[in-house]
Structure 1
Amino acid sequence: MTLNPNPNSVYPLNNYHRLCFLKNIIQNPNILVGDFTYYDDLENPYNFEKNVLYHFDFIGDKLIIGKFCAIASDVKFIMNGSNHPLNYFTTYPFSIFGHSWENTMSVEGTFKGDTIIGNDVWLGYNSLIMPGIKIGDGSIVAANSVVTKDVEPYTIVGGNPAKVIRKRFSNEVIDLLLELQWWNWSIEKITENIPILCSDDINRLKGLMNA
């Protein structure tokens, strides 16, 4: 019987400690990561939380990352603590310095919500995700991109600011994949169907609807 990789192991590859299953090293309770999502860092995977920037407890925003994502080295997330109000006559954050300046400004308009990365997403080297961004299942962010807008499922984006390069598949296939949600299957079922998931055989993919 073949043993599947253990999602609760820190380093799933023996003697290769640049890559980790990310959920097992996260300390911040406001960072939530799904099973089998990995982070590969050129120096040390424990750098990941250092790359989640301006993530202040008192704001309470969350970084949520789905299952089976691939996150390359130096990917960074800018969280809501970085935002300054754009509609005021000044962007200077007076209230954070306390004293008589405390409670002199509202954070309304600066909170963009949680940052949510779907399942089976590939974030390329040195990409930057802005606050409150939603990246759909199966999407790809090219290296060195700055993502300033939400990304639809199974879409490839790139550039600064990131723009749509193309859809990965036809709408029919995308709808099928979103309906299958293979990342929520049991690990045994995933293992059994890896030859189909790692192919472009649409007919075999359709066959999984009744499996």
Structure 2
Amino acid sequence: MKKLLFTTALAFTGLLAQAQLWTSTSSSVTFYSYTPMENIDATSDKGIFILNPKTGDVNAKVEIKSFHFKNGLMEEHFNENYMETDKEGPKDTKGKPTYPNKWAQFKGKIQETIDYTKDGTYDITMKGTFTCHNVGKEKLIKGKMTVKGGVATIDAKFDVPLKDHDIAVPEAVGTKIAQVIQVTIKATLQEKKKG
């Protein structure tokens, strides 16, 4: 009986924690690189952003192949030559191949304490690990959060040096691609409904 009550309590606690999550499955993620030859600009509207307002924990990720470029050939080179999105990693426990370069992800925590029940605009700092091209680096990402009517909007920008994530640029195109890419995130989050 005690075991059953304990298991039920754990399940209920998990449901409560889940009910408090604020989520977005259509966050906008843009990256931009200025060069004298050609600007590189790509956007995805399929970013996933999860926030636990009680703890400030953040988990955001975007599939690399969901970025779209104005130039189709540039998009192909980006996925095949730089990000290597289809490169197989070690097999999982079921013997299936993994694709470690498939996603870019940030896992961390908002450092400020925010009252999500009150409307307002806040400066925020997210501290955590940004993983791209299967290489993780510690990051401090500064941005703004606006809370209004039970909806939180996060706007943030940060730089990604290619060398930090072992992204090689061939010498032949080295002058066409900046060594630092600027990433912009815009996420509109709402409390995840039960069920």
Shorter chain as normaliser: what TM range? under 0.3
Q: Which has the higher contact order (CA 8 A, sep 6+)?
A: 2
More helix by proportion, 1 or 2? 1
What TM-score, normalized to structure 1? 0.23
